[in-house]
Each structure stands twice: as C-alpha cells, then as structure tokens.
Amino acid sequence: MDLLGNLALGFATSLSLHNLLYCFMGALFGTLIGVLPGLGPVATIAMLLPITFGLEPVSALIMLAGIYYGAQYGGSTTAILINLPGESTSVVTAIDGYQMARQGRAGTALATAALGSFFAGTVATVFIALFAPPLAELALEFGPPEYFALMVLGLIASITLASGSLLKALAMILLGLLLGLVGRDIYTTEARFTFDLQNLSDGLQFVALAMGIYGIGEIVRNLEAPETRSVAVTKVGGLMLSWADIRRIAAPVLRGTGLGAVLGILPGGGALLSSFASYALEKKLSRHPQEFGKGAIEGVAGPESANNAGAQSSFIPMLTLGIPSNPVMALMVGALIIHGITPGPAFVAEKPELFWGLIASMWVGNLMLVVLNLPLIGIWVRLLTVPYNYLFPAIIVFSAIGVYSVNNSTADVLVMAGMGVFGYILYKLDCEPAPLLLGFILGPMLEENLRRSMLLFRGDAGQFFTRPLTATLLGIALVSLVVVLLPTISRKREVVFKE
C-alpha cells in the first residue's frame, strides 16, 4: 500500500500543469538534441542548468531528466535515417536501422525504436519504484567509511568500463579528483591550488567545467570533421508494425529491457554498455545471425530497449546513494546541490514529492516521446538538413550566457573557454572525459568521507578493513582493477570495445 500511495503522490506531482509543461519541454529538447548530431545530453543539460535556478527543484529535475531520456529517442532517428548517431547510445542502432531505411523500411525501424523504448521506459520506471526505496533504507546504515569505500568502488568501476586505455582512464579520474580539490580546504579554509587567484577560492564551477569540456570541446571536434549527412529517406511512411514484426521484436525487447535495467546501475555509462551488450546477445541468440548488419529488426529492438532502460535505471544510485553513475547523473547531482538538496539515503524520506514526482514523470515523459517521435517524424527529417555552421555559433553564445548567469562572473566564461580547449586536446589524445567529470563531482565527497573516517579511526587506516562492508567494497574495487589489468583480460576488453 505504501508503494501505491507513493506512486499516487508522484503522479499528483508530475501531472500538475506546470510540471507537465516542463516534462514536455525536456522531452522536446531531448529529442531535438538527439536528432541533431554533435550536441549530446551532457552539453545540453550543462547549458540549461542556469535556466533551472528559478524553478522549483522538482520541475528542474523533471525537465533535465526529460532531456536525458528524450535524447535516447532522438538519437535513434538520425542513426536510422542518415547513419549518423545523434547520441553515443544509438551507435548500435545505426548498424541495422540504416540498412532497414535503405530497404524502404524506415517507418518500421523508427516505430520499433520508439515502441521498444516506451516499453523499456515503463518497466524501468517500475524497477526504480520497487528497488530505490529499499536501497535508500539500507544506505541509511552507512557511515563515512562505507561511503568512502562505495565511492572508491564507483570510480574503479568507471575506469574498468571506460572505452580505450585503462591508464588514460585512471589518469582522467585522478585529474578530476585534483580539479575537485581546487578552492578552500573544507576544515582549515586554507586555499589550495588557487595560484593566488581570488576567483578560484570557491573552486572551479561545475557548470563551466562541464560545458567547456562537453559543449565547446565537442563543437571544435565537430568543426574539424567535414559534414557528411545524406538522408536515406525524406518521406517516412509505414509506421505500423505487422504481426510478424511484433513476434520478432517481442523477445529482444524483453531481453534488452532486463539487461539495460541491471547494467544501467553500473558506473561508467550503463546505457551505452547495455546497448552494445544487447546487440551482441541478440546476434548470438538469433536463428538468422547472417541478417545482422543487413537490416535485422532485432538489431534495432534490443539495443534501443536496453539503452532506454539503462538511461532510467542509472537514476537509482544517484538518487539513493548520491553517487552518479555517468556524466549526466553527475550533472543531476550538480543541479540538486545548486537547489540546496543533497541526494543520498535521506533524500527519499525527506523529499518524497521530489523523488516520486520524478519517477512518475518518467512514465509521462516516455508517453510524450512516443507522440513526439512518430507523428512528428517529418519535422525531425527536415531538421537534419540544417547546416552545422549555422548551429554552432548559437550554441557558443547560449553557453557563454548560461555560464555567466550562474555567478555573473567573466572568470567562469574564461574557465569554460579553457576547458573547451582542454576537452578538444583530450579528444585528440583519445582520452575519454567521462571519468574526469565523475572524479570532479566525487572528489570533494570522497575527501570529506575519508577525513571523517580517519577522525573516527584516530588516524589508523587499518580500521577500514575491520568493518565488514567497507572491507568487502574495497576488496571488490581492488580485485576489479587487478583483473582488468591482467594481459589476457585487457586484450579481450580491447577487442570488445573495438567491436
């Protein structure tokens, strides 16, 4: 009965007129930036963070969440129609979706992606409602040592699941932790790494850093590559699935949803990982594996369901433990902190209307996205013809205005510009920026819980291993790191990521 009562509270919150409006705006923005290649949800949410300052926390979070899962829907449109994923999680969808479009089945591919995503979003919403509150109750028993160990495990997991070199991912984590230490010491108030610059005394601004690395850095990267957009089909029809199609996609959608719901909780981009895992699973289980890569409908249904379920289940560790599992969740933590709310175990009990309102809005948003993506597909097709050189100046201007408006500080705009250059250098060096952002967000929390723990232990670090849960979490982190460093596993990991 508690669950039903809480869901009733959630729907009462999310179905209020102004929250419906913000949910629709988030879904619309998400679809738009998913459709337009070159601007992902991280950059967009970073740009829109300043706009949310004047909103109620629940409205702000509903809109930002809508942008995230809306981008999963929108990204599939470009992947299918022009073989150019608008979002990283739609890379797999492009393999068979584009081939279906070339065969005159673009409508079927788009309908499969939208309906599979809707089903996965609905199941993921129920999954969050069932498992997030018990996890939050369990986490209330955690002390500083357990939180420290949990954050270490989260950071190690994000390293092992990051694509590319393990050494580079570890370097990004450490650099993120160092950047998080810029500013005044939390206990002594001594300035650290500020180089006597007053503007850095409060630390680097999260919005400026995120917008620079993901927004400006991504723009420079896209300008370097020539535009290669060729729309496979300019008019989409046949959006209704046949019974044969429904029979073929039913099992992949179910498997993809289950896989995404579980993998989405893992640190390091669960939605992306689950879409690749789903494609590999469907190809292995298929009676016609030779069709994959040539227009197999299962190759669209499974990954699209998996990435949407993964995107939504990634909210669980963020809301209940305060630990972001990917860069978007790091931005969500930033948004809550800006509003004076600390996500964590007490969040569910202290802010029930916010927690349950967000969960209920996910289902409402998914329903809106089906309406936005299928009947309005003609509008999205026409948007694909807009040249990128018209888009990027507007993006830069809005980014600069957004960053400046946070603190009315020109220094933040300069930090954004500097981080934009830095983000481009990371791209050229094949360094994934996601671990850096996670390290930056978790760095201050990691330091605080470590120092609290050392005060509890009177300086004896060995006591971390006398507490069963702390020792277990640190042990899992150590074993995970050692295992992926083994030459055989390391080679297999590289092969998997290349595939």
Residues 175-190: tens digit of each pLDDT:
988 988 888 887 777 8
Q: Which two tokens stand for residue 400?
A: 């600069």
Query: What is the domain range of residue 450?
Result: 3-498
How many whole angstroms separate alpha carbon 262 and alpha carbon 274? 9
- Torsion, Cα 50 51 52 53, to 10 degrees, reads 60
- For the chain, the straight-line distance linking the first and the last C-alpha, in angstroms and rounded, comes to 47
How many whole angstroms separate alpha carbon 479 and alpha carbon 226? 44
How many whole angstroms separate alpha carbon 121 and alpha carbon 66? 12
How many whole angstroms separate alpha carbon 463 and alpha carbon 459? 9
Contact at 8 Å (CB) between 177 and 443?
A: yes
How many whole angstroms separate alpha carbon 478 and alpha carbon 459? 22
What's the full length of the chain, in residues?
499
User: What's the confidence (pLDDT) of residue 103?
Assistant: 81
User: What's the confidence (pLDDT) of residue 437?
Assistant: 78
Contact at 8 Å (CB) between 338 and 49?
A: yes
Residues 6+ apart with CB under 8 A from 436: 172, 173, 175, 176, 179, 213, 426
Contact at 8 Å (CB) between 273 and 161?
A: yes
* Spatial CA neighbour of 213 closest among 441, 497, 444, 447: 441
User: What's the confidence (pLDDT) of residue 1?
Assistant: 45
How many whole angstroms separate alpha carbon 395 and alpha carbon 216? 9
How many Cβ atoms sit within 10 Å of the Cβ of residue 17?
A: 6
Which residues sit opposite 191 in a β-bridge? 184
In the DSSP assignment, the letter for residue 181 is T
Separation of CA 25 from chain center? 18
Largest CA distance in the chain: 70
Prediction pTM value: 0.73
Q: pLDDT tens digits for 251-306?
A: 999 999 988 888 877 765 566 677 877 887 888 888 877 888 788 888 888 888 88
CA atoms within 13 A on the CB side of 225: 12
Helices (H), 408-499: 410-428, 434-456, 468-485, 487-498
Contact at 8 Å (CB) between 426 and 433?
A: yes
User: What's the confidence (pLDDT) of residue 33?
Assistant: 76
How many Cβ atoms sit within 10 Å of the Cβ of residue 53?
A: 12
Tally of domains within the chain? 1
- Helices (H) and strands (E) counted in the chain, each on its own, are 23, 2
Q: Which residues of the chain have pLDDT under 50?
A: 1, 232
CA angle 45, 132, 76 (to 5 degrees): 40
Strand, helix or coil for residue 1: coil
